[in-house]
Amino acid sequence: MLSRLCFGLVLLLLSSYVTAGTGLAQYSLKNLRSGEITDLATVTQGTVALMFYEPDCSWCRKQAQALTELQQQCGNVTPIALGINASRLALKKALFTLQFPFAGFMAPHQLLQDLGGIPATPITLVFKQQQLIGAFRGYQPATVLQTKTGC
């Protein structure tokens, strides 16, 4: 019950940042593979499935596979991973373990603080043109994500 409440609060806070139009650009992201720096507003343009993950999360691996399948079936959806609760090196290794071929970033501490933390992983957020259109806690098969993205 408490974890559902926490997840609801995370979504409420994130929704308010998105609808305010000012929030997403303030969070800088450093690509775990290339080192390139961008911001959350830039990576959530188009249709994006953003997954929060942790290195030792077995369900995150299944979710990464579902996101890969989603991208293969719906070429217009871009999967992105935001790692939490680990060092940059551990998150980079986890991307390899997850077999996640898409962009992966370390979640900025300020974003996690502003959201009040992430209660569990995986959490997948679906954006369309920087608007949050769906949020899922736990593993979701590609078919569920396809429905939400309109693919």
Question: Can you list the domains of the chain with their CATH numbers?
Answer: 2-149 (3.40.30.10)
The pLDDT value given to residue 42: 86
Find the angle CA(134)-CA(139)-CA(143) to the nearest 5 degrees: 65
Contact in structure between 126 and 74 (CB atoms under 8 Å): no
The pLDDT value given to residue 20: 45
The CA distance from 11 to 8, in Å, is: 5
The pLDDT value given to residue 96: 93
The pLDDT value given to residue 130: 85
The pLDDT value given to residue 49: 94
Contact in structure between 127 and 133 (CB atoms under 8 Å): yes
Q: Residue 148: what are its φ and ψ, rounded to 5°?
A: -70, -35
pLDDT tens, per residue, the chain with 151 residues:
444 444 554 555 455 544 444 466 788 999 999 999 998 888 888 899 999 999 999 999 999 999 999 999 998 999 999 999 999 999 999 999 999 999 999 999 988 888 888 989 999 999 988 888 999 999 999 999 999 888 8
The pLDDT value given to residue 116: 84
Per-residue pLDDT reduced to its tens digit, 61-82? 999 999 999 999 998 999 999 9
The pLDDT value given to residue 151: 80
The pLDDT value given to residue 150: 84
The pLDDT value given to residue 41: 85
Contact in structure between 126 and 151 (CB atoms under 8 Å): no
